[in-house]
């Protein structure tokens, strides 16, 4: 009986590990292909080999040197300006991250600690609004920005990414709920205001959720394509990397820039990967602790 149970357990575990290994291989294979072929020296879009026969760094060098930014002679809709696009994305992501992080943390703290008449209705409204897909309002947002003269600008992207950030308060609120209220009460007795309690007591104790909020607030603008494309339209100089990479594989450019597209995709993934690897422990702590209470 015991041997039969052990056999079934080992057999079940073996099947599970095999399935997970196959799924992991399927998941990681496009990433491996992307990295390998970003160093490819020969061939165009169609390439018969899974592993390139020749490797070179030239694709990465050309991505940053043969651009409109560094070569003023290049112009028109066929120009590629990856350094400028990368910088645009970085600036938008940084400003959006700062504003969004502050908004999320302050809204979460208010809903977690403060008690006022409109608290429950505002929480419910925030939950309901969060159920609607963001793309439903993108066209209306574009025309509103156009009406006030902010269409096709980086400022418009920062506003769009930051304006509704406070609606993502759920996880941060759950984390703040786990912090004992006795700390707030003790600080209040000592004469601290709500503002001082938040900045000097709660935030220093909330490193995991702060890191989690920073990561999610940065990744969104860094990887977004649809909203950026709608707002920027044909404003080439204000493109983000997502729009620029999509432009590289357009029908009239894919033959010339496919290898540059692969190299650019790797470069875009590097900052996020490094940031996540360094902050992974705090990210997991923020998610798990924030899911304890609603």
Tens of pLDDT, residues 83-102: 899 999 999 999 999 999 99
Identify the weakest region by mean pLDDT among 1-5, 68-72, 239-243: 68-72
Give residue-wise pLDDT tens across range 155-169: 999 999 998 888 888
How far is the C-alpha of 282 from the C-alpha of 23, rounded, in Å? Answer: 27
Work out the average pLDDT over 265-292: 72
Which one, of 215, 229, 245, lies nearest residue 156 by Cα? 229
Q: What is the pTM of this model?
A: 0.83
The yes-or-no verdict on residue 294 having pLDDT over 50 is: no
Highest mean pLDDT among 34-38, 62-66, 79-83, 287-291: 34-38
Exposure letters 159-177 (e unless 16+ CB within 10 A, then b): bbbbeebbbbbbbbbbbbb
Nearest by Cα to 81 from 236, 294, 255: 236
Decide if pLDDT at 185 tops 90: no
CA atoms of 31 and 34, how far apart (whole Å): 5
What phi and psi values does residue 6 have, to the nearest 5 degrees?
-65, -40
Give the pLDDT of residue 59.
87
Q: What phi and psi values does residue 55 have, to the nearest 5 degrees? A: -120, 145
* 277, 262 Cβ separation under 8 angstroms: no
3-state secondary structure of 70: coil
pLDDT computed for residue 78 by the predictor: 56
Q: Which of 1-10, 84-93, 280-289 has the highest mean pLDDT?
A: 84-93
Mean pLDDT, residues 123-137: 80
What was the pLDDT predicted at 98? 93
């Amino acid at each position: 009986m015991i041997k039969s149970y052990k056999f079934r357990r080992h057999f079940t575990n073996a099947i599970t590990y095999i399935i997970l290994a196959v799924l992991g291989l399927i998941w990681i294979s496009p990433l491996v292909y992307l990295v390998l072929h970003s160093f490819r020296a020969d061939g165009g879009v169609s390439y018969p080999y899974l592993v390139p026969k020749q490797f070179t760094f030239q694709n990465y060098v050309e991505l940053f040197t043969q651009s409109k930014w560094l070569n003023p002679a290049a112009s028109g809709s066929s120009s590629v300006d990856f350094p400028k696009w990368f910088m645009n994305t970085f600036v938008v992501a940084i400003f959006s991250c700062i504003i969004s992080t502050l908004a999320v943390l302050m809204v979460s703290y208010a809903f977690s600690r403060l008690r006022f008449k409109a608290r429950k209705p505002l929480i419910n409204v925030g939950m309901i609004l969060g159920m609607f897909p963001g793309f439903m309002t993108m066209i209306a947002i574009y025309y509103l920005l156009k009406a006030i003269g902010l269409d096709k600008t980086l400022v418009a992207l920062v506003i769009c990414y930051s304006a509704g950030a406070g609606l993502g308060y759920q996880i941060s609120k759950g984390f703040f709920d786990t912090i004992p209220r006795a700390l707030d009460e003790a600080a209040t007795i000592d004469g601290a205001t709500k503002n001082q309690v938040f900045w000097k007591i709660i935030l220093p104790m909330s490193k995991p959720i702060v890191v989690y909020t920073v990561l999610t607030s940065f990744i969104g603008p860094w990887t977004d394509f649809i909203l950026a494309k709608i707002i920027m339209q044909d404003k080439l100089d204000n493109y983000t990397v997502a729009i620029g990479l999509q432009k590289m594989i357009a029908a009239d450019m894919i033959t010339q820039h496919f290898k540059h597209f692969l190299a650019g995709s790797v470069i875009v993934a590097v900052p996020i990967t490094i940031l996540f690897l360094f902050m992974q422990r705090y990210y997991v702590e923020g998610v798990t602790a924030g899911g304890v209470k609603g």
